[in-house]
Amino acid sequence: MSNLEANLRSETSRGKNNILRKQGMVPGILYGGEEKNELISISKKQLKVLLDQENFLSNVLKIKIKDKEINVLPREVAFDVVTDEPIHIDFLRMVAGRKIILEIPVRFINNELSPGLKRGGVLNIVRRKVELKCPTENIPNELIVDLDGVDIGKSFKISAIKLPDNVQPTIQGRDFVVATLAAPTVIKEPEKPAEAAEGSEATGEEGAAQTAEGAETDGKTPSADSAKSDKKDDVKKGDDKKSQPEKK
């Protein structure tokens, strides 16, 4: 359980809240139970460390105000639309004997020990969080799904996940699926043997050589035919000159 130190504040104006933010504090409110609401402020640095945790909104915290410690649950955080910095937070007092509805994150462990994942299987996560109804004194931080020994085709339903005492899902009447381990959708083609690859390269080289020889032959033929044609034209011109009568 994480601890936070908070200070009481009496001013609620926008100007006073902005002054607190410039001092590195985040205004907040503490409500719930039989006590009246309390205006508080907490360190933004400490709050940002907790915000990085995936289960922040389902994790019970202990807030210390002066000499009093109170178990609380973060309920809502407001962020600046430009800087994305936290500017306000609401905390709910934990009252024993009451129940609360929360979304609890699901965590998958022992991925490296799953035969299905080793063979290329795909873990399809249907629900990354499960909505549960929990007593305030028994709120789980996360739900664990163990993948040790799990093969392709296995599905994980809510009934297969161990829940704490008096904790139950809000969805009743059906055993809903949390995740499945499915077969890969893309089949990898086998690589060609080395000999076949070399053979195809050799065939390609021979074809290229034959093409080059054909091109050379085609280039020489027109020149020989052209020489013969020129010679015939010269002979014909000579015959024509002989057949013409000489002028006196």
Phi and psi at 101, nearest 5°, equal -100, 125
Consecutive H or E run containing 26: strand 25-31
pLDDT tens, residue by residue, 43-54? 999 999 999 987
User: Using one digit for the tens of pLDDT, what is the confidence trace for 56-73?
Assistant: 888 889 999 988 899 999
Residues 38, 65 contacting (CB under 8 angstroms): yes
Does residue 227 surpass a pLDDT of 50?
A: no
pLDDT(144) > 60: yes
* Residue whose entry in the numeric block shows the structure tokens 């005492």: 165
160-188 per-position pLDDT tens digit: 999 999 999 999 999 999 999 999 876 55
Confidence band of 33 (pLDDT split at 50, 70, 90):
confident
The pLDDT assigned to 235 comes to 45
Range of weakest confidence among 1-10, 121-130, 147-156, 213-222: 213-222
Q: Is 80 exceeded by the pLDDT of residue 196?
A: no
List, for residues 99-119, the tens digit of each pLDDT value.
999 999 999 999 999 999 999
Mean pLDDT, to the nearest integer, of 215-227? 48
Q: Residue 186's pLDDT is what?
A: 65
Helix (H), strand (E) counts: the chain: 4, 13
Give the torsion sign (CA, 48, 50, 55, 56): negative
The reported pLDDT for the residue numbered 11 is: 83
246 confidence band (pLDDT: 50, 70, 90): very low
- Is residue 137 scored above 70 in pLDDT? yes
Instruction: Say what percent of the chain tops pLDDT 70.
Output: 74
Mean pLDDT over each residue of the chain, to the nearest integer: 82
* pLDDT value at residue 34: 85
Question: pTM of this prediction?
Answer: 0.64
> Tokens 């990085």 appear where?
52
**pLDDT number for residue 66:** 86
Q: Say what the pLDDT of residue 107 is.
A: 94
Q: How far apart are CA 200 and CA 206, in angstroms?
A: 10
